[in-house]
Structure 1
Amino acid sequence: MSTLPVPGVAGGPAVSAPGVAGGPAVSAPGVAGGPTVSVLGVRHHGPGSARAVRRELERLRPDAILIEGPPEADPLVTLAPELEPPVALLAHVPGAPARAAFWPFAAFSPEWQAILYGTAAGVPVRFCDLPAAHSLAESEDRDEKRGENEDEKEIEDEGRDETSGLRADPIGSLAAAAGYDDPERWWEDVVEHRGDTPFEVIAEAMAAVREGYEPDEREARREAYMRRTLRAALKEGYERIAVICGAWHVPALTGPLPPAARDNAILRGLPKVKAELTWVPWTYGRLASWSGYGAGITSPGWYHHLFGAPDRPVERWLAEAAAVLRDEGLAVSSAHVIESVRLAHTLATLRGRPLAGLGEVTEAARAVLCEGDDLAVELIQRRMVVGDRLGQVTDGTPMVPLQRDLRDQQRRLRLRPEALDREIDLDLRKPLDLDRSHLLHRLGLLGVDWGALGESRGKGTFRETWTLRWRPEHDLALIEQAALGTTVAGAAAQRARDLAATDRTALAELTALVEQCLLADLPQALPEVLAALSAKAALDTDVTHLMAALPAMVRAHRYGDVRGTSAEGLAVIVRSMLERICVGLPVAVTGLDDDAAAGLLKHVDAVQAAVALLETDGGGEEVSPRSRWLVTLRGVSDRQDLHGLIEGRLVRILLDAGELDDAGDRMARAMSRGQVPARAAAWVEGFLAGGGLLLVHDPRLLSLVDGWLTGLSGEQFTDVLPLLRRTFGGFAAPERRAIGERVRSAGSGARDERQDVDERRAAAAVATVLAILGKADG
């Protein structure tokens, strides 16, 4: 392969794509002794490419290495040997970190192996792609032009997708030309499963695919900057330069390079922002393409295996798969492994592949190890093909104080970040578990959803169940909130204050914020939040808003007791809100349609449950909160203009509270023939919403409902049937069964009484009755 000197560079360096790994570098004719540039075209995250790049660098022994990536990360290269991949370079804009970009690296990424080689050999390693300062600014400009609303945490793949800006997939085009219908399988056969990587062949193939292709503006800028960085390295006097980049860019760096003035013109006037970069942990789940990472791979765990086990990879993979299945209690023997290996190799031979790929080993595992069980195959897919690996960064990595504080607390509380879901149960009576709960609630307030709070399996308010899963975006969220404070507790408190000071925060949101402050143990923020809540509650005239807010306030008051957190001022606000609810409820129940009545009913039930948590004794006051609430309900329930759903529910609440002794009479009136059937059905729905056991234990109420139903005409029954189905469908199965047995036994009992009459003994009484009626002869 011939090479051409770079125009305008003293010494005429040879710029080429070297031959097969292990072969000689090619120098330009007539410029012997000049600097040599070797461009190694790779696939990002390719294990075969990674091994070949490492071997080629060891053969070339370059004195400078250029890698596709943001140049601002050059000072971070020296930290790489101390990191545990997968990791990613994170670029963000200080003060506006919602705009960010990630450049992920795995152990099997060719760029990562080049970095490790360069740091070990003492060779300068530089990144040569468009700076993050420009790419982030360009992204912002594109979004403004499109007028798009970005997600809160957008993750971009700036400079990491070798097919960016293409009208067609080059790998797909080459695979089709080779007769493959699967580009991934073609790349694995010709690159990843070989003992070497034919860099020269890849360069020629990419040149053929790019023939006549004009890059778009963004790609043209990227490649222009790569050439500028290459020229700068040559000007500094480096003699042997290795460039590691996506295979697609090789033709732009190996042919006759355009004049520097042309590239400078392309790069002139680029938008720019201030960008900061650091290393952050990454996960194989985020590296997989299904996770939303644009330039990802579908099988990072498989590629990690290929890179770490170059000898007998199929045998080792299937043996590990068998171990995974055994850990789940599935019986897998050595004979299963042997047969699955034979099947995988046989499938590869029949398909003309140099080595069994992921498709073959998966089919072999499905047929032999899993015996056709798709769930077992999915287990192998999740645990091995994708993997649960989470990278680690060292304390020397640049971090904002908020990140460093969280890292220290994770160590102190023994909460290690993990890529897969991990469930933990916390007993809040234990100091360690209480501190863990405080940390997780504080992070939630900051938008770092490391833990999701679920339903506790234990009883009481002293237990919490959390599901933990660390995602790379959490580091970005911490950076975004870094301006709020240097510690997690301080930042969470300031976040609560900021939310409380916002006029747009609704009353219900403020009450939830009070609850969060207590759960997160943020007493320093509570006074301001309570003041904002009191002011908002005093001005809010919508009683439904107050009803929606009260339950959270009552829970917050209880948490102040359970967790030992001071909740001064809460009781006064709770009583004030309840008093305003009691005053406004009679107006709120007027003139409701079906939907409005259903919505109000939910608020009534929520307030009823909240009031039950309050002290029954008002602490020396004449009227307790519970009594005040029940008096209000009693007064409202006596009105004649209520919606049937509301009236029925209020009667049931008062009955359960022991405040009514005429519930049967009220039901009889509600279901009398003078009432519209639809209203009667709504009344029954509201009354029975608390459960159906009342009908089982009160024969009179059951008889009233049964008599009303049997008295409906066919058309009326059809009209109310949806309401009845909704009502009785909400009962538990044992309740429905018990009600049915009661109705059946009542009906059969009536029939039995008629059938058990002794006609011989009754004859005398019948004769007497007939004589009285003057029908003795009859």
Structure 2
Amino acid sequence: MTVTYLGVRHHSPACARLVARTVERLRPAYVLVEGPSDLDGRLDELLLGHELPVAVFSHYRDDERAATSWTPLCAYSPEWVALTAGRAAGAEVRLIDLPAWHPAFAGRANRYADAELRYAEATARLRHRFAVDSTDALWDRMIEADPDAPDLPERLDAYFDAVRGDTEADDSDRARETYMAAWIRAARTAAGDRPVLVVTGGFHRPALRRLAESGPGGPAEWPAVPAPPDTALSGSFLVPYSFRQLDSFAGYESGMPSPAYHQWLWEEGPEAAGRRLVRTVADRLRDRGHPVSTASLVAARASAAALAALRGHPVPGRLDLLDALAGALVTEALDEPLPWTRRGPLTPGAHPAVVEMVAACSGDRVGRLHPDTPAPPLVHDVAARLTALGLDGTAPVTLRLTDPAGLDRSRVLHRLRVLGIPGYARTAGPADGTDPVTEERWEPRPAAGRDAALVEAGAYGARLDDAALVALGDRAGAAADDCAALAEVLFDTVVCGAGDLAGPLVTRLRAGLAAATGPGPLGTALATALGLWRHDRVYGVARDPLLAAAVDTAVTRVLWLVEGTAPGGTTGPDRARLRALVAVRDALLHAGPVLAVPRDVATDVFRRVAADPAAPPDLRGAAHGLVHVLARTPQSGAAEAVRAAAAPAVLGDWLAGLFAVAREEVAAETADGEPGPLVAVLDDLVGAMSDTDFLVALPALREAFAWFPPTERERIAARLIARRGLRGSARALLRTPADPLALARARALEDHVSRTLDDLGLGAAR
């Protein structure tokens, strides 16, 4: 008996052809393939007749760890060819690697992400020897350029021997290789005098040969397939995959770049694949309005032929064609090297022609599963829930949240949303806990990847309710002490009706609030918790004591942080901090009974901040506004405070803080409809500014008045026109054809020129 070891690169057409030729030549008794051994009993399902690419999606979850991984397969994957050609030749086909849930794969999202990073030094030496830029270029030069070369097996052995060298396997690879070697020894014994073919990643081939041939012989005892613990949730299911996911240009470490090109190479051979690549690039560029002349394409073909001859390729290969097309179609200098000279995704700002070349080679093919493919329980549960609730159609749906039936339908759609299932877009509805909207509108839409997303969401649970709860729990854990992120999870938990999670989540939110170091994230969390505590009778958490405790914790923390704020300059208002103070204001006004800090104590804090000359201007303005609101001081107090903050460099920032928290109170009209004192004081202050001072103050003033809605800004403009005894349209005044700041700068420049001319005695009469 003989054992033939084929070390391959995953998703390599040349390796796939070699596997097919080897199966035809050997007619082996067994074909052993690197792949999850727990699928050995489901090979009929794997070979149902799917439209490739597809992937085996595996998941595992217990109390200590959660893991997901994908085993992608396309028509030119050597593993796929080994399975299909082996079966066709009458061989017994076995997958011989550890199951994907096994701890040996911990931290690895893709089974075929073998140790490429660990042998970077070896490939660097080979790249230098062959004068190429990247590992992919090296592989194309050595292997893909001549896939039918008689010495291809020797080339592959030499390549992988050099790459592995004396590299020690880590614990993960050692466990896998030991397990696969046990399968090889068993197959060698069971085969008798018939050959055995082993197809694995090339990195493993040297170690497998050594382990299998040095291990004990004896009767054929197939290794036991490890089973997950009874307490764990695990499973493996087929999902549609796409060329985009296979492409190393999209970030897939173990992918071959340009999967569409390699599909053409697999189906039609190198010459036809080259012609199709050039034609596809030209068509894509022309469709997007980029001119591509026939002369440019002729030049590209000639250049590709010359490059292939120079590099020793029988016919132009992928890199020959891409380099030639870039030379013919890109006429200006590029800021970065061409993307096929390295691995990884395209960088922003890549040349349009280069983008289209990469896209043409990548392709847009998406796989499709055979209709008889088994699906996880979640897929069936979701389908049944949508049908029962009348949500399985394509018409837009408007849901009244005050109606129990509407609320049930809303919760199902929100659970799909938090699971990341595409195709269910909410176009209207409450955005957070402060939003009093009681209706939602959803628009079902066809979405690529919806079926795959549902299968993958099965990793969270077998039922939609359970899966959404687990997904929310994972998000909460990932948020850690990020108050803003926890607030988002809290709102999603409420709209999903996941009451079992709400209590622990609010407890975690309180811990995050108590440890927060900045008022901005605190404000987001406080606004959400306060809004739910005040208004949420729709979802049933209004006046919840846990929410009340979170509100109290946030208010206390914001007050502590605000009074301890370090001195600030005049770099502009901190809008996140101001929004946090708005939330504190609302809590003091509407949730006083649940707060540990009484309103008068909070007011004293704000008085001290308002009077602190070292505090940032926007914070002092907000503190003054909060004193005005909480202590109900007269409007004249705000007007006097504005005069004290009249320095052009700080006035706008101070007003931004004031308007953020007390806009309506300090800018309200008097009882007889006249403008309040603040508007008059501001008009006088701005009118008395020099052109230079006005130019300094204008940007911050514009930002301050941005806290007013458009209708209120128009009303203030009308008051100012009337106060000056003028006539005109307030709306037109607010909609100048040019940027007011640019106009002010132009006016300042004109005045500067006039003064300079006057100083030189060259001024004209004015």
Q: Compute the TM-score of the two structures, normalised by the length of structure 1.
A: 0.63
The answer as to 2:521 corresponding to 1:569 is no
Counterparts of 1:609 and 1:384, CA distance in 2: 51
Identify if the C-alpha distance between structure 1 residues 352 and 558 changes in structure 2 by more than 3 Å, giving closer, same or farther.
Answer: farther
Please, which moves more after superposition, 590-599 or 118-127?
A: 590-599
Change in CA separation of 1:295 and 1:629 when aligned onto 2, cut-off 3 Å? same
| 1:641 is aligned to 2:607 | no
Change (3 A) 1:581 1:709: farther
Deviations 1:687-729 (A, max 9, x none): 145889999x9575254357588999xxxx9xxx9x9698369
The one-letter code of the counterpart of 1:349 is A
- CA drift of 1:738 comes to 6.3
Structure 1 residues 574 and 237, CA gap change in structure 2 (3 angstroms): closer
User: 1:248 and 1:259 mapped to 2: Cα distance?
Assistant: 19
Specify which of 364, 379, 391 is matched with residue 355 of structure 2.
379
- Picking from 195, 199, 212, the partner of 1:244 is 199
* 1:591/1:700 CA distance change after superposition, 3 Å: same
Q: Which has the larger radius of gyration?
A: 1
Classify the secondary structure of the residue corresponding to 1:297: coil
> Residue 319 in 1 paired to residue 256 in 2?
no
Matched, 1:330 2:330: no
TM-superposed CA distance for 1:304, in Å, is: 2.5
Matched, 1:231 2:231: no
CA-to-partner distance for each residue in 1:294-346, whole Å, 9 max, x for gaps? 43333333322322332511111111122222332334466654553343223
Residue 460 of structure 2 aligns with an amino acid whose one-letter code is Q
Contact 1:370 1:376 in 2 (8 A): no
- Residue number in structure 2 paired with 1:299: 258
The letter of the residue matching 1:233 is A
**Alpha-carbon separation, structure 2, partners of 1:317 and 1:543:** 54
Conserved 8 A contact 2:58-2:237: yes
Instruction: Specify whether residues 727 and 250 from structure 1 end up closer, same or farther in structure 2 by C-alpha distance, changes over 3 A only.
Output: same
Return the letter of the residue paired with 2:246. Answer: L
5+ residue gaps in structure 1?
Answer: 1-12, 16-36, 141-153, 417-424, 672-676, 749-778
Is this contact kept in 2: 1:100–1:136, CA < 8 A?
no
* Alpha-carbon distance between aligned partners in 2 of 1:300 and 1:117, rounded to the nearest angstrom: 21
Classify the secondary structure of the residue corresponding to 2:11.
coil
From the superposition, tell whether residues 325 and 404 of structure 1 become closer, same or farther in structure 2 (CA, over 3 Å). farther
Cα drift, residue 243 of structure 1: 2.4
Q: How does 1:124-143 map onto structure 2 within 5 Å?
A: 124-129=92-97, 131-132=98-99, 136-138=102-104
AA at the equivalent of 1:87: V
Matching of residue 704 in structure 1 with residue 656 in structure 2: no
Task: Go from structure 1 to structure 2 and tell me whether the alpha carbon gap of 1:64 and 1:328 turns closer, same or farther (over 3 Å shift).
Answer: same
> Could you tell me how far apart the structure 2 residues matched to 1:187 and 1:543 are?
51
The equivalent residue for 1:51 is: 17
Partner of 2:309: 349
CA contact (8 A) 1:80 1:115 kept: no
Give the match for residue 579 of structure 2.
605
Deviation of the 1:638 alpha carbon: 10
Contact 1:507 1:536 in 2 (8 A): no
| Structure 1 stretch displaced more, 726-735 or 69-78 | 726-735
Residue 378 of structure 2 is matched in structure 1 by 402
Q: 2:71 aligns with which of 89, 98, 103?
A: 103
Amino acid at match of 1:309: E
CA deviations over 1:451-503 (Å, ceiling 9, x no partner) = 9999999x997679999886999689735522xxx322343246668999999
SS at match of 1:103: strand
Using the alignment, how far apart are the partners of 1:445 and 1:730 within structure 2? 36
Match of 2:158 in 1: 205
Amino acid at match of 1:196: D
Q: Among residues 403, 415, 427, which one is paired with 1:442 in the alignment?
A: 415
Partner of 2:761: none
The alignment partner of 1:305 has SS state of helix
- Closer/same/farther in 2, CA of residues 39 and 647 from structure 1, 3 Å limit: closer
2-structure distance, mates of 1:408, 1:566: 24
| Structure-1 separation of matches of 2:291 and 2:582 | 54
Aligned runs of 1:644-663 on 2, under 5 Å?
A: 645-649=618-622, 660-661=635-636, 663=638
Inter-partner Cα distance in structure 1 for 2:640 and 2:424: 49
**Equivalent-residue separation in structure 1 for 2:162 and 2:475 (angstroms):** 55
Q: Alpha carbons of 1:389 and 1:91: their partners in 2 closer, same or farther (altered >3 Å)?
A: same
User: SS of the residue aligned with 1:196?
Assistant: coil
Aligned-pair CA distance for 1:439 = 6.2
Could you tell me which residue of structure 1 aligns to residue 700 of structure 2?
A: 727
Structure 2 residue 673 is matched with structure 1 residue 668: no
User: Aligned-pair distance for 1:278?
Assistant: 4.0
Cα distance in 1 for partners of 2:478, 2:301 equals 64
How far apart, CA to CA, are the structure 1 residues paired with 2:371 and 2:325?
A: 41
After the TM superposition, which of the residue ranges 370-379 and 340-349 deviates more from structure 2?
Answer: 370-379
Cα distance in 2, alignment partners of residues 591 and 346 from structure 1: 71
The aligned residue for residue 736 of structure 1 is 741
Alignment CA distance shift 1:91-1:326 (3 Å): same
Q: Are 1:187 and 2:162 an aligned pair?
A: no
Structure 2 vs 1, CA of residues 523 and 93 (structure 1 numbering), >3 Å: closer, same or farther?
A: closer
Which of 487, 491, 504 is the aligned partner of 2:463?
Answer: 487
**Post-superposition offset of 1:250:** 5.0
- Taking only the aligned residue pairs, the percentage that are identical comes to 22
Shift in Å, 1:571? 9.6
* Partner secondary structure for residue 28 of structure 2: coil
Whole-angstrom distance in 2 between the partners of 1:572 and 1:211: 61
Provide the C-alpha distance between the structure 2 equivalents of 1:211 and 1:580, rounded to a whole number of angstroms: 57
Q: Distance in 2 between matches of 1:258 and 1:534?
A: 58
Report 1:262-661 matches (<5 A): 277-289=236-248, 293-310=252-269, 311-332=271-292, 337-368=297-328, 375-393=351-369, 400-402=376-378, 405=381, 441-443=414-416, 445=418, 448=420, 478=457, 480-482=459-461, 486-493=462-469, 512-519=488-495, 521-522=496-497, 548-553=524-529, 565-567=538-540, 569=542, 593-594=566-567, 602-606=576-580, 608=582, 641=611, 643=615, 645-649=618-622, 660-661=635-636
Q: How far apart, CA to CA, are the structure 2 residues paired with 1:541 and 1:176?
A: 52
Q: Distance in 1 between matches of 2:19 and 2:170?
A: 30
Q: How far apart, in 1, do the equivalents of 2:166 and 2:558 lie?
A: 72
Structure 1 letter corresponding to 2:641: R
Q: 1:347 to 1:638 in 2, by over 3 A?
A: closer
Verify the 8 A CA contact 2:606 2:624 in the aligned structure 1: no
- Tell me the CA shift for residue 112 of structure 1: 0.9
Distance 1:231 1:314 in 2: 43
Secondary structure of the residue aligned to 1:258 is: helix
**Kept in 1: contact 2:12–2:77 (CA 8 A):** yes
Q: Secondary structure at the match of 1:383?
A: helix
In structure 2, the gaps of 5 or more residues are 335-349, 668-675, 707-737, 754-766
Contact preservation (8 Å) 1:87, 1:105: yes
Q: Give RMSD over aligned pairs.
A: 6.5
Residue identity in the other structure for 2:20 = R
How far apart in 1 are the matches of 2:470 and 2:83?
41
Paired letter, 1:641: A
